Amino acid sequence: MKLILLGPPGAGKGTQAQALVESLGVVQLSTGDMLRAAVAAGTDLGKRVKAIMEAGELVPDDIMIEMIAERIAEPDCAKGFILDGFPRTVAQATAFDRMLEEKSLKLDRVIEIQVEDLPLIERVEGRFTCASCGEGYHERFKRPKRDGICDVCGGTEFVRRKDDNGETMKARLKAYHDQTAPLLPYYRGRKVLRTVDGMASIEEVKRQIGAAL
Ligand code: ADP
Ligand code: ADP
Ligand code: ZN
């Protein structure tokens, strides 16, 4: 299964990708996570992208295309993958099409998780993540079962993303509408696009994605 999750920041791509990893047994490729790991490790790539990410702008296409080309060549992607955060521009999508073609691979589905702008601000402002295992949570919508303790690993330390604030969200939403939304007609034309209601509960979105597959 080769799948793309498409949607604005905070739509629920990461949350749903994690659920799909369990149900489909394929890997999740989150370009945002890869970039944040590079920033945290202080690599050359990390130094190049840090300020761009903090401003809520998109990292240049050539960097992203190379990153994904290298990643999907790894053996754990042979069974398939769920892309969460890539492609984000038409240039990335056309480059990705060429990569798949070269490998004689076919994209199965693109799932659009649709949410209006306003609720997305509350989504990202309430988002936090377990520092040890990366499980995602939300202050209102997905609290740990026991306060301050990760459901998955029992960790007690949580982190928030530097770009998850109202100010940066304006730039991220603008980038989505200007540069990423044109992918919707692009994939609709290829007959692989399905849209789910991202305003529904996490469980209901999961169900709708299952039905779309
Ligand atoms: P979100 O939760 O907002 O969807 P991500 O974790 O996917 O965010 O991405 C965080 C940031 O990383 C983006 O704002 C952007 O700066 C950068 N980024 C991630 N993926 C891409 C991509 N495919 N193209 C360009 N920039 C990207
Ligand atoms: P994305 O990867 O698209 O940026 P996330 O999956 O990280 O989005 O979700 C953003 C925040 O909203 C997280 O704190 C998550 O727990 C929460 N969330 C995800 N899906 C829903 C939903 N359907 N309803 C309410 N909150 C949600
Ligand atoms: Zn944890």
pLDDT tens across 144-169, in order? 999 999 999 999 999 999 999 999 99
Give the pLDDT confidence score for residue 212 in this predicted structure: 96
Q: Does ligand 1 come within 6 angstroms of the Cβ of 171?
A: no
Give the pLDDT confidence score for residue 58 in this predicted structure: 98
Peptide bond into 182 cis (omega under 30): no
Torsion angle of C-alpha atoms 143, 149, 155, 157, degrees rounded to 10? 70
Q: Structure pTM?
A: 0.96
105 confidence band (pLDDT: 50, 70, 90) = very high
Ligand nearest to the CA of 154: 3
Q: Does ligand 1 come within 6 angstroms of the Cβ of 127?
A: no
- Ligand 1 centroid distance, CA of 58 (Å): 7
Is 143 an annotated catalytic residue? no
For residue 150, give the DSSP letter. -
Q: Does ligand 2 come within 6 angstroms of the Cβ of 172?
A: no
CA distance 208 to 72: 27
161-181 average pLDDT score: 96
Q: Are 100 and 190 in contact (CB under 8 A)?
A: no
Give the pLDDT confidence score for residue 26 in this predicted structure: 95
Across the chain, mean pLDDT equals: 97
Q: What is the pairing mode between strands 81-84 and 136-138?
A: unpaired
Is 127 an annotated catalytic residue? yes
12 confidence band (pLDDT: 50, 70, 90) = very high
Give the pLDDT confidence score for residue 158 in this predicted structure: 98
Could you give the percent of the chain with pLDDT greater than 70?
100
Residue nearest to atom 6 of ligand 1 (CA): 32
- Ligand 1 centroid distance, CA of 85 (Å): 6
Q: Which residue among 31, 84, 96, 123 is best mutated to probe the pocket of ligand 1, counting the most ligand atoms within 8 A of its Cβ?
A: 31
3-state secondary structure of 20: helix
Maximal C-alpha separation, the chain: 49
Cα angle 172, 177, 181 (rounded to 5 degrees) comes to 120
Return the structure tokens found at 55.
């401003």
